[in-house]
Amino acid sequence: MSNITFSKEEKALMVRNIKLYFSEELKQQIGQFDAEFLLDFMSEELGVYYYNRGLSDAQTALAAKFDDIQDAIGQLEQPVKFKR
């Protein structure tokens, strides 16, 4: 897996959300550096779990679509005197 990178704007938004969460939910102030450090830690330590779950969900969705396509093809088959 290659490293996932975010734009400066995306990272700034995530850091802002961390700071907002700490302020509103935990009633604590967290500085910019600490929020960035926490984001980096969460990304490195937990990000892979979310990444893998996303891949699994995508695979499940594709498998369901593939089943639909197989069913549609099966409905197009014409009857013949012999089966393979």
What would the pLDDT profile of 20-36 be if each residue is shown by its tens digit?
A: 999 999 999 999 999 99
Q: Is residue 45 part of a domain?
A: yes
Instruction: Look at residue 1 in the predicted model and tell me its pLDDT.
Output: 62
Instruction: Look at residue 7 in the predicted model and tell me its pLDDT.
Output: 95
Instruction: Look at residue 4 in the predicted model and tell me its pLDDT.
Output: 83
Please report where in the chains the tokens 């409905």 appear, as a residue: 75
Instruction: Look at residue 69 in the predicted model and tell me its pLDDT.
Output: 95
Q: Which two tokens stand for residue 56?
A: 């699994």
Contacts (Cβ under 8 Å, ≥6 apart) of 35: 15, 18, 19, 22
Q: Is residue 84 part of a domain?
A: no
Q: Is residue 80 part of a domain?
A: no
Instruction: Look at residue 84 in the predicted model and tell me its pLDDT.
Output: 66
Q: Is residue 21 part of a domain?
A: yes
Residue 63's domain spans which residues?
A: 8-75
Q: Is residue 20 part of a domain?
A: yes
Query: Which segments in the chain show pLDDT lower than 70?
Result: 1, 83-84
